[in-house]
Structure 1
Amino acid sequence: MLTLPITEVPKDPNRSTQNAVSPFRYPGGKGFLSAFLKRRMSLLDTSAERVFAEPFCGGAGAALILLADGDADVVRLNDADLRIFSAWQAILDEPERFVAKLREVRLDMPEWYHHRDLVAGFSDREYDFDIGFSTFYMNRTTRSGIILNAGPIGGYDQRGKWKLNARFNVERLANQVLWLAANRARIELSNMDALSFIDRGRRRADSGNTMFFIDPPYVKAGGRLYFDGMSEAKHVALSDILTSGSVKYWVLTYDDAPLVRQLYKSQNCSTISVNYSLQSKRRESEILVEPNYR
């Protein structure tokens, strides 16, 4: 396999896992790319509203850092899964209720099973506060933040070194929720198919001053890590949009799969090192793709 150049990702001196803006946690989350993305945001016109858009927002770690640090004026967060969307909408539109739930919820195995069963059995098509909170609860209490298909922190018998409360600092999470609520006017939230979101975004009047940050489900392990994986046809359709030239500014991250290399061979491709902690802390290479601006 062809060796790609390595992109050395600069560290953001003002950000770490201890002062993250997003209340969510995700394996392979892209908040660490914030300094790199800030440089790319400098391509946008500062005299107009600078928009940062995430079609697969998940925990939106990068978007919220850019918003907090003044490198984006508006962030557009989209997630096709209604459970993730419900978690975001609950936080953004019912923050006092959400914080009250954070402060009263139990951190024990009967409670964990309750929220797991709610999330696993959800099949509605409308926003649901309780499902949103349960989704968030699972994100904070499962190993690596994988909402389903992962066990609880500390194990089912809670005999591990860390317990369910290890990643559930109530006051810190409450402060993050309240900050998001205070900045609600600058956060747009949607529950669309990601390709439809990009298509709509490229047709908007401000498309020329929008940076799309696209972090799709992995080709190799998407079904395990995400509620909604992507078929090969969807991966191809995404590449068709991005390589058409109709989206002016974009950054794409993917797992290093042959399909990805083939689809984006005409673009600027490099590798980046990403930190994971699914079983144990480790770093793996992903592909970073950008358009040919020259």
Structure 2
Amino acid sequence: MKSFFGYPGGKSRLATRFVKQGVFNPVLPITEYIEPFAGGFSMGLTLLKEYGPFPVRINDIDKDVFVLWDVVLNPKERNELCQKVMSFKPTLRDFAKVKSRILADKDKCRFHRTRVERAFDKLLVHKLSYSNMGEKAATHVGGKSQRADDGTPKQWGFDVRWNPAEICKAIVRVTDMVKVQTAGNFQVTFDNVFDLLSDISPKTLVYLDPPYYVAGDKCYKHSFANNGDGKRPTNKHEDLAKALKGVKWRWLMTYDNAEAVKKLYPGQCAEVTLNYQMSSAYRAGQSLKPNTELVISNFPPLLKPFTNENVHV
């Protein structure tokens, strides 16, 4: 199920494919579900729709992601957010303004934004940004000039994804489904992932989509390559592998196809190849490019052989 909130590395189409191929059949029925790296929460939405109801906890260390999800699940704040979306008409300068505000603010709240204002900023920056990369994108959709090489205006401009009625419809569709399929037992947190993983009950299913090993620092404000303060930490990818080793609860994880990741999970990695393409490239008519990701799990049997499938994100 597609989220209302586009996010780098989103898994909506891959989630549908997993359901079709019965990837999660060995762990059904799901009695409790956790996503430590929530982002757009596409995998969890698909599982809820297909296999719910069950309790859910989503977590993201990015406070802006946390606030956005927490706001849309609060009826009063959801209405305020949708009213703000419906009344707003973005300009070319808005992407840079909001990006700057988010990157400067972090968790210091120096701009004294309300929760709804903070949620709106996060939603807006992802809708306007190149390939849903939000504040990590270098520019908005269509580039700075909004023109092709021959000087003509690009067919798809910076606001191509800003359709207020459709955005609000998607927010309502997603949050109403979540409330029904979790019977209101839905928790949103922004905990450190390692603290979260240290206290999980044995019957829980955990889906992990950690920051990319190779390009995580380019895609995420809180990647495993930085602490947010300019200091390089210990290898958190290795720390994650250690945290998952020998746990009693069931987990499935997707990762970029890096040799270093395969070494961390010997004998547990399967490759899934998608004909993958950024939405901007798709709209420009560029050809599809095969992209292989790793699927890692501690509950065999895991996967049937995967074949190429066209995916536009």
* Counterpart Cα distance in 2 of 1:242 and 1:72: 26
Q: Which residue of 2 aligns with 1:92?
A: 73
- Cα displacement string for residues 240-261 of structure 1 (whole angstroms, at most 9, x for unaligned residues): 12222x1431111111212211
Identity in percent: 22
- Cα displacement string for residues 159-202 of structure 1 (whole angstroms, at most 9, x for unaligned residues): 322122211222221122123443341432111112222222x2
Name the amino acid aligned to 2:92: M
Query: Does the CA-based 8 Å contact 1:27-1:277 persist in structure 2?
Result: no
Aligned positions of 1:1-294 closer than 5 A: 20-38=1-19, 39-44=22-27, 46=29, 50-71=31-52, 73-93=54-74, 94-124=77-107, 128-150=115-137, 151-159=139-147, 160-182=154-176, 183-184=178-179, 185-200=184-199, 202=200, 204=201, 207-208=202-203, 210-231=204-225, 233-244=235-246, 246-265=247-266, 267-274=267-274, 275-277=276-278, 280=281, 282-291=289-298, 293=300
Comparing 51-60 and 115-124, the one that deviates more: 115-124
- Cα displacement string for residues 4-45 of structure 1 (whole angstroms, at most 9, x for unaligned residues): xxxxxxxxxxxxxxxx44111133311122245433443335
* Counterpart Cα distance in 1 of 2:299 and 2:250: 10
- Cα displacement string for residues 37-67 of structure 1 (whole angstroms, at most 9, x for unaligned residues): 4334433353xx6222211111111111222
Spell out structure 1 runs of 4+ moving beyond 6 A: none
* Aligned-partner SS, 2:222: coil
* Counterpart Cα distance in 1 of 2:277 and 2:104: 28
* Aligned-partner SS, 2:159: helix
Name the amino acid aligned to 1:31: S
* Aligned-partner SS, 2:134: coil
Segments of 5+ residues of structure 1 without an aligned counterpart are 1-19
Name the amino acid aligned to 1:190: T
* Counterpart Cα distance in 2 of 1:287 and 1:37: 13
* Aligned-partner SS, 1:69: helix
Query: Does the CA-based 8 Å contact 1:55-1:194 persist in structure 2?
Result: yes
Comparing 176-185 and 162-171, the one that deviates more: 176-185
- 1:288 to 1:254, Cα distance in 2 relative to 1, 3 A: same
Name the amino acid aligned to 1:198: L
* Counterpart Cα distance in 2 of 1:35 and 1:180: 16
* Aligned-partner SS, 2:252: strand
* Counterpart Cα distance in 2 of 1:37 and 1:193: 27
Name the amino acid aligned to 1:262: K
* Aligned-partner SS, 1:137: helix
Name the amino acid aligned to 2:116: F
- 1:30 to 1:280, Cα distance in 2 relative to 1, 3 A: same
Instruction: Give TM-score scaled by structure 2 length.
Output: 0.77
Query: Does the CA-based 8 Å contact 2:268-2:296 persist in structure 1?
Result: yes
Comparing 179-188 and 284-293, the one that deviates more: 179-188
- Cα displacement string for residues 58-90 of structure 1 (whole angstroms, at most 9, x for unaligned residues): 111111122223445233211001111112122
Segments of 5+ residues of structure 2 without an aligned counterpart are 148-153, 226-233, 283-288, 302-313
Query: Does the CA-based 8 Å contact 2:141-2:280 persist in structure 1?
Result: no
* Aligned-partner SS, 1:254: strand
Instruction: Give TM-score scaled by structure 1 length.
Output: 0.82
* Counterpart Cα distance in 2 of 1:130 and 1:194: 26
Query: Does the CA-based 8 Å contact 1:122-1:131 persist in structure 2?
Result: no
Name the amino acid aligned to 2:269: C
Name the amino acid aligned to 1:237: D
* Counterpart Cα distance in 2 of 1:88 and 1:106: 22
